[in-house]
């Protein structure tokens, strides 16, 4: 016969088992949420680490590119300075060769011939010829003779050799135009073309092609 005590014990057991099941279920749910939270945090940390690593790599790449750019700019500046130095040497060499040429007999013949040809290209009768002081002393008589032959009246002015090197400047009496065929002007006016040809020759020879 089942007593009240037995019934109470059965009731307590049922209640306990139900509560225990609830507890276990809650505990399992809590553990599952914790596991999910931990995994989520792991993924979040991993993503942040990856983003940080990517950002660090980008910063390193940017710094590397900056250093390369600065180095390239530095080398290019040195290259331009070296090219300009070589060009200056070349210009100086050309002027020196021109000076040497003015000391030859060939130069005197060429000067008189070029000035005579210039006489024929202008309509003015009264002209002014400017040559170096040395050339005036050497060729004045020849130039007066050439002018007479071309039916021109000329005045011969002179400049120091440092101003002209050689060659001549032709103008009308009123100096309304100026034909400058002095060697110094010819070299200076062709500086760009001389430089362009020089740089092309250097590049074709494989010089001054610095790369990083």
Q: Where are the beta strands (DSSP E) in 64-188?
A: 126-132, 153-159, 167-172, 178-182
Is the Cβ–Cβ distance between 210 and 79 less than 8 Å? Answer: yes
* CA–centroid distance for 76 within its chain: 6
Task: List, for residues 107-165, the tens digit of each pLDDT value.
Answer: 999 999 999 999 999 999 999 999 999 999 999 999 999 999 999 999 999 999 999 99
Question: Do the bridges between strand 167-172 and strand 153-159 make them parallel or antiparallel, or are there none, so unpaired?
Answer: unpaired
For 150-170, the DSSP string reads: TT-EEEEEEE-HHHHSSEEEE
Is the Cβ–Cβ distance between 168 and 111 less than 8 Å? Answer: yes
Task: List, for residues 168-187, the tens digit of each pLDDT value.
Answer: 999 999 999 999 999 999 99
């Amino acid at each position: 016969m089942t007593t009240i005590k037995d019934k109470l014990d059965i009731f307590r057991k049922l209640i306990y088992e139900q509560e225990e099941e609830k507890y276990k279920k809650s505990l399992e749910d809590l553990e599952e949420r914790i596991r999910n939270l931990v995994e989520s945090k792991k993924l979040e940390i991993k993503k942040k680490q990856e983003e940080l690593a990517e950002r660090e790599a980008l910063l390193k790449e940017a710094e590397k590119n900056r250093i390369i750019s600065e180095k390239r700019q530095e080398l290019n500046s040195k290259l331009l300075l070296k090219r300009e130095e070589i060009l200056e040497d070349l210009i100086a060499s050309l002027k020196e060769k021109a000076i040497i040429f003015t000391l030859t007999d060939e130069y005197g013949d060429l000067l008189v011939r070029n000035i005579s040809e210039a006489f024929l290209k202008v309509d003015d009768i009264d002209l002014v010829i400017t040559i170096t002081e040395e050339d005036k002393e050497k060729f004045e008589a020849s130039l007066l003779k050439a002018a007479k032959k071309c039916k021109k009246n000329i005045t011969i002015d002179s400049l120091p050799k440092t101003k002209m090197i050689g060659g001549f400047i032709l103008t009308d009496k009123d100096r309304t135009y100026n034909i400058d065929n002095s060697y110094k002007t010819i070299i200076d006016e062709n500086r760009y073309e001389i430089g362009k040809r020089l740089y092309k020759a250097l590049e074709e020879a494989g010089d001054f092609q610095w790369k990083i």
